[in-house]
Amino acid sequence: MVPCQCRHHSSSNSSNNKAGRRRVLSSLAASVMSVVLSGVVPGIVGAEEGSVLLAPSSPVDVIATGDAKKLFNEGRALEMQGNIYAAQRIYTKVTKIVPRFIYGWSNLGNTQVVLGELTTAEESYTTAINLCNENLKEEAQFGVRRCDDLYLLLLNRGSLRMNNGMPKEALQDLEKADALRARPDAIILQNRARARELNGFYSGADRDYTTAISMTANEVNPFWLRSSIVKYQIGDKNGAMDLMKRVENRFPEAPEVRAAYACLLLGVKGDQEAAQRKFLEIPDRQRKNFSDESYLRSVISWPPAMIETLSVVTKAVGEGPSP
């Protein structure tokens, strides 16, 4: 699995809250090199399977008011403090009081993701997306805010779907998010690159990773490891090694970095001894994972070229891959 990165939503129009709404919540893990990543309000199954769609008896709520606003802000404060269980209880109350409030559902989904409740989180995100789409179909009125961040909702659901065994659907969400964003967005690009990887579209993944890196070039980020791995898969071995050196310098003790670097030492440099030494730097218990092909394919989702090269290294050190 891969980390799901969720962006927060606020019911205010202020610039400060807008910035807060774009803050990334790393809900399942801190980096892409790490191994990962309630009941829903009763309703009628909507047009999108898994959503909660309530009868459209009133306009969609983009901004909470009255008691719902107070509760929603309380939930946001609890969430920012890390009290996720309490925040989830508050957001659930909000969805009951104002079932057509978009961000009650989206923020509930955020807390569900953090707590590992991925199926119900997807239902919450889908409900928020359906409400946002419904709002955008309503006639615009002067001074009345519309749902202006559908791309964020799609980003969150797409990120979640990558962690919930839905790579094809995840990619669809992230393609839509990118189109709606209409300009390069590093977080969307990172997530779409990963989704493209999971669907076997390595060239497209490489383009997305490269653009995302160009937007964050002054700081080595964990997703650079994935970019290096993809470059190796498509045959850009020098590009893969250049990135890997910077990743290894930034995260020298990460087991996946050591394993990947060992692959490149063999596959790019042809240095079998250096590759074996690097691989054996991984602590024994963690190193066993990299001899397990199911771990490589299903957990950290390495592409075929990396798995094939690593198998040469593991066999050489007497820890051949298990099927």
What are 174-191's pLDDT values in tens digits? Answer: 999 999 998 999 999 999
Question: Quick check: 16 pLDDT over 90?
Answer: no
Question: Quick check: 301 pLDDT over 60?
Answer: yes
Q: Report the pLDDT value the prediction gives residue 202, as an integer from 0 to 100.
A: 98
How large a percentage of the chain has pLDDT more than 70?
A: 81
Q: Report the pLDDT value the prediction gives residue 58, as an integer from 0 to 100.
A: 79
Question: Quick check: 126 pLDDT over 90?
Answer: yes
Distance, in Å, from the CA atom of 174 to the CA atom of 157, rounded to the nearest integer, reads 9
Question: Residues 6 or more apart from 203 whose CB is under 8 A from it?
Answer: 234
pLDDT tens track for 248-273? 999 999 999 999 999 999 999 999 99
Report field, pTM of the whole predicted structure over 0.85:
no
Question: Quick check: 18 pLDDT over 90?
Answer: no
The CA distances from residue 112 to 33, 75, 108, 148, 163, in Å, are 23, 13, 6, 23, 13
Long-range contact set of residues 273-276: C-beta below 8 Å, sequence gap at least 24 = 275/313, 275/316, 276/313, 276/316, 276/317
Q: Report the pLDDT value the prediction gives residue 28, as an integer from 0 to 100.
A: 33
Distance, in Å, from the CA atom of 87 to the CA atom of 92, rounded to the nearest integer, reads 9
pLDDT tens track for 40-85? 222 222 335 455 555 555 789 999 999 999 999 999 999 999 999 9
Question: Across 11-15, 36-40, 49-53, 156-160, which has the greatest mean pLDDT?
Answer: 156-160
What is the full DSSP assignment across 15-81?
HHHHHHHT-EEE-S-SSTTS----PPPP-EE-SSTT-EE----SPPBSS--HHHHHHHHHHHHHHHT
Distance, in Å, from the CA atom of 103 to the CA atom of 81, rounded to the nearest integer, reads 19
pLDDT tens track for 205-225? 999 999 999 998 778 999 999
Question: Quick check: 9 pLDDT over 50?
Answer: yes
- Burial, 17: exposed, middle or buried (Cβ in 10 Å; 0-12, 13-18, 19+)? middle
* Kind plus residue range of the DSSP H or E element containing 6: strand 5-7
Cross-strand pairs, 45: 52
Q: Report the pLDDT value the prediction gives residue 96, as an integer from 0 to 100.
A: 96
Question: Quick check: 102 pLDDT over 70?
Answer: yes
Q: Report the pLDDT value the prediction gives residue 162, as an integer from 0 to 100.
A: 94
Residue 87: what residue type? A
Q: Report the pLDDT value the prediction gives residue 37, as an integer from 0 to 100.
A: 26
Tell me whether strands 5-7 and 52-53 are parallel, antiparallel or unpaired.
unpaired
C-beta separation of 228 from 247 below 8 A:
yes
What mean pLDDT, rounded, does the chain reach?
85
Q: Report the pLDDT value the prediction gives residue 1, as an integer from 0 to 100.
A: 45
Q: Report the pLDDT value the prediction gives residue 187, as an integer from 0 to 100.
A: 95
Q: Report the pLDDT value the prediction gives residue 6, as an integer from 0 to 100.
A: 57
